[in-house]
Amino acid sequence: MKRFIQTRFFLLSKESSQSNCNPGRLEKAYEEFAGVLFAECCAMIDMTALYHALCFTHVEFKSLRYQLANEPEKKCANCQLFGQSHFTC
């Protein structure tokens, strides 16, 4: 269930909440994350397991977004923009 949050993108996103982020590294990691997500969706036979993994990932991203929103002094402009554009509900 944690396979998506163990990707480099999620780990870099968590790091960016604690220090300065590197937009180039974050963008590459996002592309890798999207590739992993797409491959898993295409290969997954058990849709219930996929649904649970995606829900878990969504909850973790919402938590990260909340953390970033409440610590404005620790995020860069790109992280703030990224958080607002990709993780809105």
Per residue in 59-79, pLDDT tens?
A: 988 888 887 777 655 555 445
Rounded CA separation 73/19 (Å): 9
Q: How confident is the model at residue 21 (pLDDT cuts 50, 70, 90)?
A: low
Range of the domain at 37: 8-86
Q: How many domains does the chain have?
A: 1
Residue 1 lies in a domain: no
pTM (predicted TM-score): 0.63
Residue 3 lies in a domain: no
Residue 74 lies in a domain: yes
**Cβ neighbours of residue 25 closer than 8 Å, sequence gap 6 or more:** 12
Residue 61 lies in a domain: yes
Distance of CA 58 to the CA centre of its chain: 8
Tokens 């909340």 correspond to 66
Residue 45 lies in a domain: yes
Q: Across the chain, what does the average pLDDT equal?
A: 76
Residue 65 lies in a domain: yes
